[in-house]
């Protein structure tokens, strides 16, 4: 090794400095490796170990009393509250259709005209009615003065009634008259179509009010009563109606009954022909203890739940009553104020330590 000197003193040679630096770096690296090996040698804690130490995470609900609404879920096809399909009364040919689907018509309006296959002189029948009407007015005036007998009055009244009935039949057959004010829902035959008696022509309904006929079994019919609230969902909105008619007799072959549920329909959101799923409130149990269905463990015919006491899960048997949607009435096994597990029960057994999370 060589030393060099200058005016300020003696300093290490450049080669010596590099050797010293290498030694220091090597020492630092060795120390780092040693520390790394020491820290990684400790085993990582498993999820099972954490749960044993802190408890299995669960969510709970505190049991209280509430009113439980009882529902029956049914469905049916909507139709106008007043709805009818007109049929042909005579054989003939349709010569004109005076309305379109969606047309609003008044009672008595002519919807289409039929040319009879067997000639009917509408003008003659109309004239006969007008003559009978005039005779009736004259006789009525004379009757007030006591100038005619009751026998003549009765004969004129019979003649008037017969003439009116004949005119109504001819007019109805040839001009297909609307029996109610409403909306044309369907036109089943068109111009130049031949018709026969009973052929369906036009469907008309008052759609401002909707009827939904619902079929229920004989096992359920006694749960329904007139005036019960009914709910349906249209375009994401819940609309309400009510049970309107309960029949006293059912179908003897199928043992089913058809009840009517009605809805006001001012904005025509319910269209005749739509299938509606309905939820009808058939009763209310006041002050019932209920649990979410997720909290009840069903094993065959047995039902149970986990309650939390002092941070420990305890499995208890429960007895159930009525179900309403996602809630189940509990008639025994759980007291008001108990904390019942609603999430995480699948990881529990009787006596498991738990940690309640929100």
- Residues 316-327 have pLDDT tens digits of 999 999 988 889
Query: What is the 3-class SS of the chain, one letter each residue?
Result: CCCEEECCEEECCHHHHHHHHHHHHHHHHHHHHHHHHHHHCCCCCCHHHHHHHHCEEEEEEECCEEEEEEEEEEEEECEEEEEEEEECCCCEEEEEECCCCCCEECCCCECEEEEECCCCCHHHHHHHHHHHHHHHHHHHHHHHCCCCCHHHHHHHHHHHHHHHHHHHHHHHHHHCECCCCEEEEEECCCCCCEECCCCEEEEEEEEEEEEEEEEEECCCHHHCCCCCEEEEEECCEEEEEEEEECCCCCECCCCEEEEEEEEECCCCCCCCCCEEEEEEEEEEEEEEEEEEHHHCEEECCEEEEEEEECCEEEEEECEEEEEECCEEEEEECCCCCCEEEEECHHHCCCCCEEEECC
Task: Report the domain count for the chain.
Answer: 4
Residue 232 inside a domain? The answer is yes
Do 139 and 224 fall within a single domain? no
CATH number of the domain bearing residue 341: 2.40.420.20
Q: Is residue 340's pLDDT more than 50? A: yes
Which tens digit of pLDDT belongs to each residue from 216-272?
Answer: 999 999 999 999 999 999 999 999 999 999 999 999 999 999 999 999 999 999 999
Do 314 and 342 fall within a single domain? yes
Do 90 and 189 fall within a single domain? yes
Residue 140 inside a domain? The answer is yes
Boundary of a domain, candidates 248, 267, 285: 285
Do 210 and 118 fall within a single domain? no
Residue 43 inside a domain? The answer is no
Residue 333 inside a domain? The answer is yes
In angstroms, what CA-CA distances link 181 with 103, 188, 273, 318? 11, 19, 19, 58
Q: Is residue 73's pLDDT more than 90? A: yes
Do 192 and 120 fall within a single domain? yes
Boundary of a domain, candidates 267, 285, 303: 285
Computed over every residue of the chain, the mean pLDDT equals: 86
Residue-range definition of the domain harbouring residue 319:
56-65+287-356
More confident residue, 19 or 69: 69
Do 101 and 181 fall within a single domain? yes
Residue 252 inside a domain? The answer is yes
Q: Is residue 106's pLDDT more than 70? A: yes
Spatial separation of the C-alpha atoms in residues 17 and 294, rounded to whole Å: 75
Give the pLDDT confidence score for residue 147 in this predicted structure.
Answer: 79
Give the pLDDT confidence score for residue 42 in this predicted structure.
Answer: 54
Share above pLDDT 70 across residues of the chain, in percent, rounded to a whole number: 87
Cβ count within 10 A of residue 240: 11
The strand pair at 9-11 and 4-6 is best described as antiparallel
Which tens digit of pLDDT belongs to each residue from 153-190?
Answer: 888 888 888 888 877 777 778 889 999 999 999 999 99
Do 346 and 274 fall within a single domain? no
Do 118 and 184 fall within a single domain? yes
Q: Is residue 210's pLDDT more than 90? A: yes
Do 305 and 350 fall within a single domain? yes
Boundary of a domain, candidates 137, 168, 202: 202
CATH number of the domain bearing residue 270: 2.40.30.170
Do 105 and 92 fall within a single domain? yes
Residue 40 inside a domain? The answer is no
Residue 16 inside a domain? The answer is yes
Do 93 and 195 fall within a single domain? yes
Residue 50 inside a domain? The answer is no
Do 271 and 179 fall within a single domain? no
């Amino acid at each position: 090794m060589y030393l060099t000197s200058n005016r300020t003193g003696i300093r290490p040679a450049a080669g010596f400095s590099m050797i010293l630096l290498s030694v220091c770096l090597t020492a630092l690296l060795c120390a780092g490796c040693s520390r790394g090996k020491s820290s990684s040698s400790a085993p990582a804690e498993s999820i099972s170990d954490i749960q044993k130490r802190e408890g299995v995470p669960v969510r709970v609900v505190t049991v209280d009393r509430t009113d439980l609404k009882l529902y029956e879920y049914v469905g049916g096809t909507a139709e106008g509250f007043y709805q009818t399909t007109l049929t042909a009364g005579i054989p003939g040919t349709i010569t004109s259709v005076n309305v379109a689907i969606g047309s609003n018509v008044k009672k008595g309006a002519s919807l289409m005209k039929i040319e009879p296959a067997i000639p009917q002189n509408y003008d003659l029948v109309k004239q006969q009615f007008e003559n009978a009407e005039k005779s009736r007015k004259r006789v009525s005036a004379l009757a007030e003065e006591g100038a005619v007998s009751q026998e003549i009055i009765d004969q004129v009244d019979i003649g008037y009634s017969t003439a009116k009935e004949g005119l109504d039949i001819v007019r109805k057959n040839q001009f297909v008259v609307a029996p109610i004010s409403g909306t044309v829902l369907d036109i089943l035959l068109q111009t130049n179509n031949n018709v026969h008696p009973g052929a369906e022509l036009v469907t008309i309904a008052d759609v401002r009010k909707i009827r939904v006929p619902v079929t229920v079994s004989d096992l359920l019919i006694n749960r329904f009563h007139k005036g019960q609230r009914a709910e349906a969902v249209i375009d994401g909105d819940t609309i309400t109606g009510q049970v309107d008619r309960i029949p006293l007799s059912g179908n003897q072959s199928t043992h089913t009954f058809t009840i009517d549920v009605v809805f006001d329909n001012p904005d025509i959101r319910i269209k005749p022909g739509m299938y509606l799923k309905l939820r009808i409130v058939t009763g209310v149990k006041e002050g019932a203890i209920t649990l979410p269905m997720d909290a009840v463990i069903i094993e065959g015919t047995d039902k149970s739940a986990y309650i939390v006491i002092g941070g420990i899960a305890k499995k208890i048997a429960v007895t159930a009553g009525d179900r309403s949607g996602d809630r189940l009435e509990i008639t025994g096994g759980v007291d008001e104020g108990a904390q019942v597990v609603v999430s995480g029960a699948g990881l529990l057994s009787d006596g498991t330590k738990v940690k309640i999370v929100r």
